[in-house]
Amino acid sequence: MSDNIIVQDEGAVRVVRISRPEKKNALTSDMYTALAAALDSANADSAVRCTLIAGVPGAFTAGNDLADFMKAATQGAGLARPAHVFLKALVNNNKPLLAAVQGVAVGVGTTMLLHCDFVTAGTDAKFSTPFVALGLLPEAGSSLLAPRLMGHPRAFALLVMGRKLDATQAQACGLVNDVVAPEEADAHALKAAQDIAALPPEAVALSRRLMRGSVDDVAARIDEEARLFGERLKSPEAHAAFAAFLNRKR
Binding stretches for ligand COA (CB under 6 A): 23-24, 26, 62-67, 104, 106-107, 130-131, 134, 245
Distance set, CA 123 to CA 89, 140, 168, 185, 222 (Å): 29, 25, 8, 9, 30
**Of residues 187 and 240, the one with the C-beta less far from ligand COA:** 240
- Residues paired with 104 in a beta bridge: 59, 126
**Of residues 34 and 241, the one with the C-beta less far from ligand COA:** 241
Alpha-carbon gap, residue 16 to 2, rounded angstroms? 12
**Of residues 197 and 238, the one with the C-beta less far from ligand COA:** 238
CB of 147 to ligand COA, least distance (A): 19
CB of 192 to ligand COA, least distance (A): 26
Residues whose CB falls within 8 Å of the CB of residue 38, separated by 6 or more in sequence, listed in order: 5, 7, 14, 16, 51
**Of residues 90 and 106, the one with the C-beta less far from ligand COA:** 106
SS3 77: coil
**Of residues 117 and 225, the one with the C-beta less far from ligand COA:** 225
Distance set, CA 182 to CA 23, 36, 179, 185 (Å): 19, 26, 9, 5
CB of 228 to ligand COA, least distance (A): 14
CB of 70 to ligand COA, least distance (A): 9
Are 157 and 130 within 8 A, CB to CB? Answer: no
CB of 46 to ligand COA, least distance (A): 35
The closest residue (CB) to ligand COA is 107
Are 25 and 18 within 8 A, CB to CB? Answer: yes
